[in-house]
Amino acid sequence: MAEPVSGSVQREGAAPPILSVRDLRLHFDVKDPKGWPWSPARKLRAVDGISFELRAGETLGIVGESGCGKSTLARAILNLLPANAGSIAWMGREMRGAPEHEWLTMRREAQMIFQDPLASLDPRMTVAQIIAEPLRTHRPGMDAAQTLARVRAMMQRVGLSGQQINRYPHEFSGGQCQRIGIARALILEPKLIICDEPVSALDVSIQAQIINLLRELQQSMGLALIFIAHDLAVVKHISHRILVMYLGRSMELAHKQALYAEPRHPYTRALLSAIPSPDPVRERAKVIELLHGELPSPIDPPSGCVFRTRCPQALARCAQEVPVLRPAGAQTAAACLLLTPPEPRCS
C-alpha cells in the first residue's frame, strides 16, 4: 500500500517540489547461506514504500537505526541501486525506468556526500583532480584554466587553502577530507545534495563545523539537502522536516518543531528519549522509553506493523494491519495504529 505524504505536513502555497518520491521500494533477492543451493531466494525489503517531497532550499532529515534502509534509499534516489517499484520524479519528470542519459543529466543537479570522508576519495589523485572530476565527466568541453580556477574558488568556499591543491587525501584530517568531498559535490553547482551520514565518522567539534558549513552553503546557493543520520540530536540543527525510518518503512514525517515538541510515533519517542540532555535536572526527570528486543531481520520482518515486536504499546491489531502515514497533527504524519481507530466491521 502506498504511503502518501500527508498534505498537512507541507507548507501551503509553497513552490512545487524539485524531488517527489512515491511508494519507493527496493528489494533484494538473498540466498540463505545455511540453506540448500537450490533453495529459493528470499526477499530483503531494504526500502519498502517510502514517500516524501523536497523543495528548493529545504532540508529533509532522514533518521533511524543502522540497517533501517537510509543509505539504500539515498542510492535508490540517484539510481545507484535501481528501485523495484514506485516513483522518483525530478523537477516534474519521472525518472524511474528512464534511460541512462537522463539519469546522467539529473546527476549534474543532484550530487552525494558520503559517510567515510577518506574512503570516498581516491588516494592516487590530488585534491585538484578529485574536485575537478565531476567537471571532466559532465562538462568535458571546459578548458584546463577554467577548471583550475573553479577548483580554487570552490576550495576557498569550503574553507580549504589554495596552497593545498596538489596534496593527496592522506595528508588531510577527517574534517578536511569531508570538506574536499563537499567541494567535489558542489563544483557542478547542483540543486540537491544528498548527505549520507556525512559527520558520523568525525569528532563532535568537527561535526559542528561541517553542519555549519552545509547550512551556509545552502543559504548562499539555494541548495536542497537530504541529510541522513542515525542521531536525532545532529539532525535537529540542520533539518526543516524529518523522516523517521524503521526496517525500510516510514514511521513518522513531521516538521522539526512538531517532531521534537510532540513526537507521535512510539519509535520516534524512544529515539528522542535516548538523546542526553546537558541539563542534569531535566536528565534525571526524563522518562526513557526503552525498546524491547533486537532489530528484526529485514528478510523476515514482523507481520502487520514492523515495529510491533519492540513497541511497548503494541495492540493485537498491530499484528494484523499495516499502518500507513496518516495526518497526526497540523504538521505531522505518523504510521501508527494507536493514532487511528479500528475500521468498523460489517455485521
Better-scored residue on pLDDT, 156 or 291: 156
Please give the residue range of the domain that contains residue 28: 12-109+190-336
Query: What number is the average pLDDT over the span 192-209?
Result: 88
In a domain, 16, yes or no: yes
pLDDT, tens digit, 9 for 90 and up, residues 248-267:
999 999 999 999 999 999 99
In a domain, 72, yes or no: yes
In a domain, 142, yes or no: no
Task: Look at residue 15 in the predicted model and tell me its pLDDT.
Answer: 78
Which CATH number do you get for residue 92?
A: 3.40.50.300
- Please check the confidence at residue 215 and state whether its pLDDT lies above 70: yes
pLDDT, tens digit, 9 for 90 and up, residues 1-29:
444 444 445 554 567 899 999 999 999 98
- The two beta strands, 19-30 and 42-54, are antiparallel
- Please check the confidence at residue 132 and state whether its pLDDT lies above 50: yes
Residues 92/54, Cβ–Cβ less than 8 Å: no
In a domain, 204, yes or no: yes
Tell me how many domains the chain contains: 1
Give the CA-trace dihedral at 191, 156, 175, 211, to 10 degrees: -40
pLDDT, tens digit, 9 for 90 and up, residues 308-333:
999 988 889 999 999 999 998 889 99
pLDDT > 90: percent of the chain: 64
- The size of the chain, in residues, is 347
In a domain, 292, yes or no: yes
pLDDT, tens digit, 9 for 90 and up, residues 219-239:
999 999 999 998 888 898 899
In a domain, 344, yes or no: no
Q: Does an H or E element contain 146, and which?
A: helix 144-157
Identify the weakest region by mean pLDDT among 80-89, 108-117, 274-283, 286-295: 274-283
pTM of the full structure: 0.88
pLDDT, tens digit, 9 for 90 and up, residues 28-75:
988 876 677 777 888 899 999 999 999 999 999 999 988 899 999 999
In a domain, 96, yes or no: yes
Distances (CA, A) of 293 to 96, 251, 265: 37, 18, 18
Task: Look at residue 126 in the predicted model and tell me its pLDDT.
Answer: 95
On the 0-12 / 13-18 / 19+ scale of CB atoms within 10 A, 105 is middle
Query: What number is the average pLDDT over the span 81-93?
Result: 95
Mean of all residue pLDDT scores within the chain: 87
Task: Look at residue 67 in the predicted model and tell me its pLDDT.
Answer: 87
Buried b (16+ CB within 10 A) or exposed e, 184-214: bbbbbebbbbbbbbbbebbeeebbebbbebb
